[in-house]
Copies of this chain bind each other. A is one copy, B any other.
Amino acid sequence: MNGIYKALWLNEEGDLEVIDQTLLPHVETTKVLKTCEDATLAIADMTVRGAGVIGSVAAFGVYLAVRQTKILDSEFNAKVQALKDARPTAVNLQWAVELMVERLRNASGDLVVKAKEEAIALNNDEAEKSLEIARLGADLIEAIAKRENRKVNILTHCNAGWLAVIDMGTALAPIYEAKRRGIDLHVWVDETRPRNQGANLTAWELGQDGVEHTIIADNTGGHLMQHGMVDIVFVGADRVSRQGDVANKIGTYLKALAAHAHSVPFYVAFPTSTFDFEVIDGVKDIPIETRSEDEVRYMVGLHENGNVEKVLVVPQGSRALNYGFDVTPNRYITGLITERGIVDADLLKIEELFEDLI
């Protein structure tokens, strides 16, 4: 799988092939999704995850649905409704499904061919946005490097790299681009409990690309910022409200509070499709997914016997609660990096830049 740097692609049979992200970094393997139901399950069980890639797989999921039903009948509607409901927080999922269905309703000719073209087009658009986000974010890193004239220390939470958003990710895209520009940098990778997307996915991605990084417990960021060991924070987003409140992986908010306390710039990177302009107050109105308590109760890793196995890390009788996301209020955010530019997390500024979409 080395050198692929893609989270998903259409294989020779026209099926969707995705990297199985549940087994990384220990096992590098793929899954083939042949039906809309396969795509729904892959999103729900987190074979694929990350706001952008969820949208990407959903777009191809609509294509797979059309391939099954040929027409946009009630069976098709039921399939894409289940797809849309696979996970509640990431708005890209709903956005991608609705956009695909709308385009198909307005289409003529062979719907299967059309659906495939539209899904590819949607993905190409998203990939372009990722590259623009990379450029804008890398400019911020470059400015720090020039000002401080030393290695730049970046902190990130969860995974918003190419496993999460095609083509280069969102939060990690500026890092990859800065490295290409020859900037000396180092990344603090939050482990990101309970599912460890930082330790499992971000560290693996950065390692593949030769980016210097250090994994830390999620508890560590406050201490690092207090001691001047973080120059800038980049995170991704699963849904951003019209006033710039950001739903992202649980724990993002704690890092934003620490960054605010120590005047560390805190940037959120995402494509326009992650905005939910219908929601103003994100803390109040963005739905937060509660996932299985077993994600907290068990840890999955590589056993010395060479297999990926799980161990119970709590007392047998203890319960756990597992919120997948939290919402960071706009006042703790330095800026939102979108493909249209970097914008303040502020209602009027956002309405100005995205007037045509609201």
Q: Does A277 contact B (CB under 8 A)?
A: no
CA distance A272 to B314 in the complex (A): 32
8 Å CB interface, A170-223 against B: 189, 191-194, 196, 199-200, 203-204, 207, 213-223
Q: How many Å from the CB of A107 to the closest CB on chain B?
A: 42
Q: Which B residues are in CB contact (< 8 Å) with A308?
A: 311
Q: Which segment, of A9-17, A95-103, A291-299, faces chain B?
A: A291-299
CA distance A193 to B194 in the complex (A): 10
Q: Which segment, of A52-60, A75-83, A233-241, A315-323, faces chain B?
A: A315-323
Q: Does A285 contact B (CB under 8 A)?
A: no
Q: Does A160 contact B (CB under 8 A)?
A: no
The 9 closest A-B pairs by CB, nearest first: A219-B251, A301-B311, A223-B326, A25-B315, A222-B253, A193-B217, A301-B313, A302-B312, A299-B299
Q: Does A250 contact B (CB under 8 A)?
A: yes
CB contact under 8 A between A226 and B196, given known A216-B296, A312-B26:
no
**Chain A, interface residues (CB within 8 Å), range:** 35 or more
Q: Which B residues are in CB contact (< 8 Å) with A189?
A: 318
Give the interface SS of chain A, mostly helix, strand, loop or mixed. Answer: mixed
Q: List 29 A-B contacts (CB under 8 A).
A: A25-B315, A25-B316, A189-B318, A191-B296, A191-B313, A193-B193, A193-B219, A200-B315, A203-B315, A207-B317, A214-B319, A214-B320, A214-B321, A216-B320, A216-B321, A217-B251, A219-B249, A219-B250, A219-B251, A220-B250, A226-B253, A257-B257, A298-B301, A299-B311, A301-B313, A303-B309, A303-B311, A308-B311, A310-B311
CB contact under 8 A between A215 and B253, given known A193-B193, A299-B299:
no
CA distance A257 to B253 in the complex (A): 11
CA distance A193 to B214 in the complex (A): 16
Q: Which B residues are in CB contact (< 8 Å) with A220?
A: 250-251, 321, 323, 326
Q: Which B residues are in CB contact (< 8 Å) with A254?
A: 219, 221-222, 254-255, 257-258
Q: How many Å from the CB of A87 to the closest CB on chain B?
A: 17
Q: How many Å from the CB of A159 to the closest CB on chain B?
A: 13
Q: How many Å from the CB of A88 to the closest CB on chain B?
A: 15
Q: Are A299 and B313 in contact (CB under 8 A)?
A: yes
Q: Are A218 and B219 in contact (CB under 8 A)?
A: yes
Q: Are A215 and B319 in contact (CB under 8 A)?
A: yes
Q: Which B residues are in CB contact (< 8 Å) with A288?
A: 223
Q: Does A121 contact B (CB under 8 A)?
A: no
Q: Does A113 contact B (CB under 8 A)?
A: no
CB contact under 8 A between A250 and B217, given known A309-B311, A311-B300, A313-B301:
yes
